[in-house]
Amino acid sequence: MSYAHHRRGGFSLRLLTGAGLVLFVIWSAAPILWLALSSVLEQRALIARPPDLSPQNLTLSNFITVIGSAAALGRGMLNSLIVALFATLASLALGAPAAYALARLSVPRASAIAFLVLATQMLPSIAIAIPLFLVISRLGLIDNLFSLGVVYLSFNLPIVIWILRNFFLGIPDGLEKAAAIDGAGVIGTFWHIVLPISLPPLGAAAVFAFVEAWNEFFFALILTRQSAQTVPLVIAAFAGQYQTVFGQMMAAALISVVPVILLAVLFRDWIVRGFADGMMKG
């Protein structure tokens, strides 16, 4: 009796777990599915209440219009690519050595410093928007890709340091001792021993930094005007004063997320392993 009861309890638990996972997938995928569906619907079907999802309202005209006038979208995607790559590569180049120093070297109050680094992300964006704008304006760097990249770097760097530090904390001491016996110094050990085994967390941190910079809207809106506009601003421009062209906006948004989706698909193993290693070893 107890065995049958145990089996029924196990089956119920698996059923609830499966149902929960299905609901989670639906909840997570629904915005992407609605984005894709909206991009191929006519404007009148989208603004109907409720939206008219009839097959006769499906059209590719939104993509044709967006691609036909692709100058702004193309420039926005190029600007986003330049800024995101700069912020990602710079955050890795600066964050990896900093994370290694905080994790493996004799830095006084390393844990407190690491917490302070992460605490910089707890400030609301609006609190630093005006001072940041004033500084960049005084330097004459408004509407400049380099200044925007530096701003994104300042946001991504603390997260990269935190992700990599958790991984570096779990590296066995024997690796560094063996390298020291062979005559390697701190820099040599970091470059030749630690970095080669840190590719998964480096990849995970890189993808995170790239996606954050690619999708950022608030500071791009404040710090750019025309020539340095990124792709989120170009998409937002489809919302006019009197009418929002939803279909074209969704088509442009779908085109803009393709690079991010490809990046996630290509590096999915590194992302999963990187975050898993960081959580387990941190």
Choose between 39 and 14: higher pLDDT. 39
- Please, are residues 226 and 143 in contact by the beta-carbon 8 Å criterion? yes
| Residue 116: predicted pLDDT | 87
Token duo for residue 101: 């120093």
| Residue 241: predicted pLDDT | 54
In order of their start, the domains of the chain are 2-57 (no CATH), 68-281 (1.10.3720.10)
Summarize pLDDT for 84-126 with one digit per residue, the tens: 999 999 999 999 999 999 988 888 888 888 888 888 888 888 8
* Residue 280 scores a pLDDT above 50: no
Summarize pLDDT for 51-93 with one digit per residue, the tens: 888 888 888 888 888 877 667 788 889 999 999 999 999 999 9
Mind giving me the DSSP string for 52-101? Answer: ---GGGB-SHHHHHHHHTTHHHHHHHHHHHHHHHHHHHHHHHHHHHHHHH
| Residue 87: predicted pLDDT | 95
CA atoms within 13 A on the CB side of 86: 16
Q: Per-residue pLDDT averaged across 228-247, rounded? A: 80
pLDDT band at residue 277 under the 50/70/90 scheme:
low
Kindly give, in sequence order, each residue whose CB lies less than 8 Å from that of residue 45, ignoring residues fewer than 6 positions away: 51, 52, 53, 54, 57
Token duo for residue 119: 């605490």
CA pair distance 118, 113, nearest whole angstrom: 9
- Please, are residues 160 and 253 in contact by the beta-carbon 8 Å criterion? no
How far separated are the first and last CA of the chain, in Å rounded? 44
| Residue 246: predicted pLDDT | 82
Token duo for residue 216: 């950022």
Summarize pLDDT for 193-216 with one digit per residue, the tens: 888 888 888 888 898 899 999 999
CA pair distance 254, 238, nearest whole angstrom: 14
Q: Per-residue pLDDT averaged across 222-239, rounded? A: 87
